[in-house]
Amino acid sequence: MAFNPKTNHTSDNQSVLCTTNIFSIFGMSKMLMPYYLVTIITHNKKKFEGIKENPSDDMDFMYRHFYHLAINSLGKENIIGYDCVMVSTLSNVYKAHQKKNQRDRPRRYG
């Protein structure tokens, strides 16, 4: 059984997984990364960094949304740096954030 990367097919027709969309197997249309890493740097070089959860997959909208929230809370004149990126639940950044939150706020029943 040989795989041809140009056509995304195998030489025999017995392997269905190579020609099937992997998300249709699990019943999902697409994988969502609902976590966003937001970094804000103020004029006095203070850095705010955190992960926000939002189920929207429109990255441009979320970038502007979090930027306007930062402007409303800190003021536009105080922000000299801003960044917003999507974060996977498998990334080291998210795992470190999750460990920090579990350490800071332990659950009552778990």
pLDDT in tens, 93-109: 888 888 887 776 666 66
Q: What is the CA radius of gyration of the chain?
A: 21
Q: What is the pLDDT of residue 85?
A: 92
Q: What is the pLDDT of residue 77?
A: 94
Token pair 């041809």 in the structure block, residue: 4
Residue 75's Cα: distance from chain center in Å? 26
Could you give the CA distance from residue 10 to residue 22 in angstroms, rounded to a whole number?
A: 16
The mean per-residue pLDDT over the stretch 33-55 comes to 90
List of E strands, the chain: 3-4, 9-10, 35-42, 47-53, 79-87
Whether residue 60 has pLDDT greater than 70: yes
Could you give the CA distance from residue 94 to residue 4 in angstroms, rounded to a whole number?
A: 36
Whether residue 62 has pLDDT greater than 70: yes
Q: What is the pLDDT of residue 15?
A: 47
Q: What is the pLDDT of residue 80?
A: 95
Band (pLDDT 50/70/90 cuts) for residue 82 is: very high
* Residue 63, both tokens: 């970038």
Q: What is the pLDDT of residue 23?
A: 47
Q: Per DSSP, what are the bridge partners of residue 79?
A: 42
pTM above 0.75, yes or no: no
The mean per-residue pLDDT over the stretch 45-54 comes to 90
Could you give the CA distance from residue 68 to residue 107 in angstroms, rounded to a whole number?
A: 32
Average pLDDT, the chain: 77
Contact 44, 52 (CB under 8 A): no
